[in-house]
Homo-oligomer: A and B are copies of this chain.
Amino acid sequence: MRSARVGAARLKARNQVTRIGRTNEGPLRATARNEILCGDCVASMERLAQESVDLVFADPPYNLQLANRLHRPDQSLVDAVDNDWDKFANFAAYDAFTRDWLAQARRVMKPSATIFVIGSYHNIFRVGAIMQDLGFWILNDIVWRKNNPMPNFRGRRFTNAHETMIWAARDQSAKNYTFNYEALKAANEDCQMRSDWLLPICGGTERLKDGAGRKTHPTQKPEALLARVILAASSPGDLVLDPFFGTGTTGAVAKRLGRDWLGIERDGDYRAAARARIAAIEPLPNETIATAPSKRTEPRIAFASLVEAGLIAPGATLVDARRRHRAVVRADGALSLSGFVGSIHKTGALAQGLPACNGWTFWHYEEKGALAPIDDLRAEARERLKVAAE
């Protein structure tokens, strides 16, 4: 079951939606959800409400410049990307296109939203520079390392074994962007997730193919890549926009992970493939996708309230883990440390001679001869609050 808070927010957002068709006609009062908009992504985004999406994933044309056809050593032809949508007259044309869609993406992003743009060396430098020029604030560049890349058949370069994603906030001042740091760390052997991700390319049964066995889309991204992006930078119920939807990997993964999604795609074949694909997706049970509470999102508790609640008595003695320092709890929730009176943090800092200190983990109380951090008392107080709220 979706949590009550998230469910309510999502329902509210749903009710604000003005249902629209699949064409570009008419204005939008709010932003659609869980649909594929037909048409050019700039025109489509222009009609979306500003500050309405929580996350953008964009896989724009790479502007590959393959002058000639490429043959493998056995003389077979490499099925290169030569679609019309990847053709631009020159860098200036590509830059203008890039500026247009990025500006619109930025407009529809909530202040707390972030954007991922994936590309290769053909286009990612232009994309990144334009993002900076538009005011995006880059948080990381992320390297998708492919464990099974296509080799360089001519032996004239290094194997092009990675693609680059730029992760950016809407602007420098946006400090409250969604980043599920703890969840990613837990998923990575309790080490913080690095900027290089090793993932296989999209193949096997995941790769969409037509009746004749031809791949439906030349650059279909692996769902594992989108899963990490969406888990890292959104919450259940959030709206994920993909302006270059293709065959809908973003929508499929978003639906599975309990996020809403919105795709924009010009090509009818891609839209049809995406629609069928997403319809077959079964969302995961809510308990598997609910974001774990992080310390940052827990309600703040004043140390004084622990004293008021009787969890710690005025006059009690607190010590650090090694019993080197002693402080006495005052009735007003401050501590007294050899004549100095201050907060648990200030006294902890003073005791250690440091500029700052987290008093919750520094100070301990004695219970049955053993020491426990006063953070345990805070957890107890939060537990009581939670019970009282129900």
Contacts and interface: CB of A to CB of B under 8 A. Distances in A.
A140 interface: yes
The secondary structure that dominates the A interface is mixed
Nearest to A143: B143
A139 interface: yes
Given A155-B181, A156-B179, A195-B158, A125 B132 contact: yes
Interface residues of A, number: 55
Within the oligomer, what is the number of copies of this chain?
A: 2
B155 A192 contact: yes
Given A91-B132, A129-B126, A192 B140 contact: no
A369 to B, nearest CB: 29
A358 to B, nearest CB: 9
A218 interface: no
Contacts of A193: 158-159
Nearest to A147: B390
A353 to B, nearest CB: 10
Interface in A116-142: 120-122, 124-129, 131-133, 138-142
Interface in A194-228: 194-196, 198
A158 B142 contact: yes
A214 B125 CA distance: 35
Interface of A: 71, 75, 91, 120-122, 124-129, 131-133, 138-143, 145, 149, 151-152, 155-162, 164, 166-167, 175, 179, 181-182, 184-185, 191-196, 198, 232, 354-357, 390
